[in-house]
Structure 1
Amino acid sequence: MKMELIEEGRDVLLYLDGRRTYLVKVRRGREFHTHKGFVKLGELIGKPYGCVIESNLGVRFYALTPLIRDRALKTERRTQVIYPKDMGFILLMADVGPGSRVVEAGTGSGALTLALANAVRPEGRVYSYEIRPEFQRLAINNVRRAGLDAYVEFKLGDITEGIEEKEVDAVILDMATPWLAVPHAHGALRGGGVFLSFSPTIEQVVKTVSALKRHPFVEVETYELILRRFIVEESRTRPETLMIGHTGYITAARKVLG
């Protein structure tokens, strides 16, 4: 297999340590400055991903291929993003994969959009609704930067007023009032398709579940994911003091026909 080389204009994740990584675009003549000195990004052109580059102070950085989780957390944003721990669960619960057709509402900065687009390619499609033009513009730029814009159709509109797409595999919501979109989600889904919403407060969950139970849905369930990272060392293995606690509740259901 041919080794992939870094090209000008490509994104690179500069890895300093487990807590400090930086998403940068490689350009000739451009310098990236940190508290550990500056790196000449042009020196990465033609080198393989995974290579080492040193700052002017002699500090080593590793040039890695950005993963979707890196892009989701480090691309420009003006809204709170869904964390990778929740993204992975959402993709699994909604059974999103190659060829899936997915409606998303609440594009925001496009973090979840990135994960969905990456999962549905090469033949699937994400239809992403957003009511705020400034957020949509930011999301378009973030998805385009990742090279995934061919798999997303961005739509400016309020999903509580209707969904144009029909017979989709999943409807995934990250919005303030998901319960108002339940009737339209049911109309858009294929039989057996998945409704899923991400909500930061339990009051939103209660209203959403109540709406789901008034419509033909089954397997109505709500989850919360807690992630704890461990420090693994000889005779000193322990959980980290800081952890990602509550980020939101995930409510899922499946459409039935009667």
Structure 2
Amino acid sequence: MTNEAWAVLVEEDGKVHVVEMTSGSRKIKGLGVFDPLEVIAPVAIGEQVGIGQKLLTRMPTRLPELNKGMLRRAQTISSKDAGWFTARLGIGSGDRVLEAGIGSAGLSLHLARALGGSGTHITVEPRAEHAEVGLENLRRARESWVEFPEHHHVEGTIETVTETIQSHCESFEAIVLDLPDHPPAIAAVAPMLVVGGRIACYCPVTQQVERAWEACEEAGLNVEWAGELMERQWGRASKGGMRPVNGPFGHTAFLLIAQRL
């Protein structure tokens, strides 16, 4: 179930457009000039609509569609890594999650979906230009989904805004850090973890994951897992059968999970 605040339109090649359903003719990037309420509102989920020279299918505003059609500025955490984080952290309804390094909110969307209407999600980002994009993507999700967590955003580096964070929430079941320098942040937020709570670090290079591991141990946390996830897509071959598709099979980041015992 969704409301009519946003609409998802998918081109035949899979490209996704997320359109705000406000009245009045205006230019929609990639689609042209038209009135969304007039053109899209009468189209049911699953039906097609012609806009300019494009034939598009209206789809629900679910997580995969909003993620694929999200606004982007900073590098985003892929669904491969975001889904693994969400599962390994054990995030669910009613939990409290602190996320530092919101970027374009690729991970934030996954966290918000898992937390539902009874969870609390606090994001921290020192770069206003990145936060602007990420918060807009979260707004789309909040206005599209039936349930959305209580959300607060704090501007600044996480180790300098701990008092502001704790004015919203004193402790957390999960903390996620996507930062260039993890140790200061780990030292600052590890005391906020509840017993059994977990911290996750997203580290593009080996030096970062090693320093994060050392910082977690210094903070009294038990490192449960560190490594990387590999993803390889397969498709149908022209002469029958299945084979790996041609495309990138590279590194995204090293991931680390540590728990407070």
- Tell me the TM-score normalised to structure 1 length: 0.85
8 Å contact from structure 2 (residues 119, 149) kept in 1: no
Aligned residue number for residue 160 of structure 1: 159
> Post-superposition shift, 1:30?
5.0
Q: Please give the per-residue CA displacement for 1:127-152, whole angstroms capped at 9, x wherever unaligned.
A: 11111223223322221122267521
Note if 1:12 corresponds to 2:8. Answer: yes
One-letter identity of the residue aligned with 1:222: A
> Post-superposition shift, 1:54?
2.8
SS at structure 2 position matched to 1:122: helix
Aligned residue number for residue 189 of structure 1: 193
Q: Please give the per-residue CA displacement for 1:203-258, whole angstroms capped at 9, x wherever unaligned.
A: 100111111122321243212111111113572311110035211111001012xx
SS at structure 1 position matched to 2:138: helix
Aligned residue number for residue 49 of structure 1: 45
> After superposition, where does 1:1-258 map in structure 2 within 5 Å?
7=4, 9-18=5-14, 20-27=15-22, 29=25, 41=36, 42-57=38-53, 60-147=55-142, 151-161=150-160, 163=162, 164=166, 165-232=169-236, 235-256=240-261
User: Could you list the runs of 5+ residues in structure 2 that have no partner in the other structure?
Assistant: none
Q: Please give the per-residue CA displacement for 1:53-101, whole angstroms capped at 9, x wherever unaligned.
A: 23454x5321112332332343222210101111100100111111110
8 Å contact from structure 1 (residues 94, 194) kept in 2: yes
> Post-superposition shift, 1:116?
1.1
8 Å contact from structure 1 (residues 222, 252) kept in 2: yes
> Post-superposition shift, 1:154?
0.5
SS at structure 2 position matched to 1:128: strand
Distance 1:84 1:122 in 2: 21
Distance 2:157 2:118 in 1: 26
Distance change (3 Å), C-alpha of 1:193 and 1:134: same
Q: Please give the per-residue CA displacement for 1:163-188, whole angstroms capped at 9, x wherever unaligned.
A: 32433101101111112212222200
Q: Please give the per-residue CA displacement for 1:16-59, whole angstroms capped at 9, x wherever unaligned.
A: 224x3333334554575759x998753321332111123454x5
Distance 2:221 2:142 in 1: 36
Q: How many residues align?
A: 249
Distance change (3 Å), C-alpha of 1:16 and 1:244: farther
Query: CA-atom RMSD, angstroms?
Result: 2.6
